[in-house]
Amino acid sequence: MSQVAVEAPPKGGFSFDLCRRNGMLSKKGVPPPSYRKTGTTIVGLIFQDGVILGADTRATEGPIVCDKNCEKIHYMAPNIYCCGAGTAADTEAVTDMVSSQLQLHRYHTGRESRVVTALTLLKSHLFKYQGHVQAALVLGGVDANGPHLHTIYPHGSTDTLPFATMGSGSLAAMSVFESKYREGLTKEEGIKLVCEAICSGIFNDLGSGSNVDVCVITKGQKEYLRNHQLPNPRTYVSSKRFSFPKKTEVLLTRITPLKEMVEVIGGGDIMEE
């Protein structure tokens, strides 16, 4: 029977051979490769004249830190940014997709994007995929209706809050916000509180680490403070810089022509038909 299957000519269509192989491997105890997930601390708050977003910069693959300085605050529109937690590929893809839809919408209407537009586009996409697009987002921005801060969960539910945290470090960060947040913070106080919340995630949550990124959005302007704090500098850097004392030594030089030259001398008979 198997002989027949092997000798039959290819028929096209989807081959399920690998599904059977993967099923066999997982039955034998070989785990499938995991997605790159950002065990993350991301936060946002509303201060007296806008929104501040914050994020750590660790990306993990299971127990391995695979990027020590990644960017988790994504661009949505000039006046809107979005922090992403969950599967890195999904947060990246969904924010890029919606940011391009917003750009086209701005070309069409000639007006500044609104935060609720981004919110609706994101939530309807995430709801459509019933939680399989693993993106947990903190969306913040300032538009015609003032500052806005929202959280979006992978299943497509949204909340509107004055201060928000997401990701595996959200519990640590929320404890900082719950004890210290108040209405009408100044910009400096806001940045300080966001940094403190992210640092509590960095130091108390295993999935979060490295540096603090901050993004301050106010009416008509924004400040993206990449690596605003560096609480985990490299401790093992050589005090001297690396140098290579000698040039690479040439031991042997040989030139091999790629094609042999053939000289054709005239006078041969032309083949007749």
Rounded Cα distance, 116 and 98, in Å = 12
Candidates 72-80, 155-163, 221-229, 232-240; binding stretch for another protein (CB under 8 A): 155-163
Smallest CA-to-CA distance from 56 within 197, 151, 175 is with 197
Rounded Cα distance, 262 and 268, in Å = 15
Q: Taking CB under 8 A as the criterion, which residues in 168-207 touch another protein?
A: 168, 170-171, 179
- The one catalytic residue among 38, 40, 60, 91: 40
Q: Under a CB-based contact definition with an 8 Å cutoff, are residues 99 and 142 in contact?
A: no
Residue type, 223: E
Cβ-based burial of 217 (10 A; exposed 0-12, middle 13-18, buried ≥19): buried
Residue type, 179: S
Q: Does 100 bind another protein (CB under 8 A)?
A: no
Candidates 11-19, 69-77, 131-139, 240-248; binding stretch for another protein (CB under 8 A): 131-139
Measured from the CB atom, the residue of 25 and 159 that comes closer to another protein is 159
| Nearby residues of 7 by Cβ (< 8 Å), 6 or more positions away | none
Rounded to the nearest whole angstrom, what is the least distance from the CB of residue 127 to another protein in the complex? 5
Residue 248 bears catalytic tag: no
Q: Does 36 bind another protein (CB under 8 A)?
A: no
- Which of 49, 112, 127, 203: binder of another protein (CB under 8 A)? 127
Residue numbers at the binding site for another protein (CB under 8 A): 123-124, 126-127, 131, 134, 136, 151, 153-159, 161, 167-168, 170-171, 179
Please give the positions annotated as active site: 40
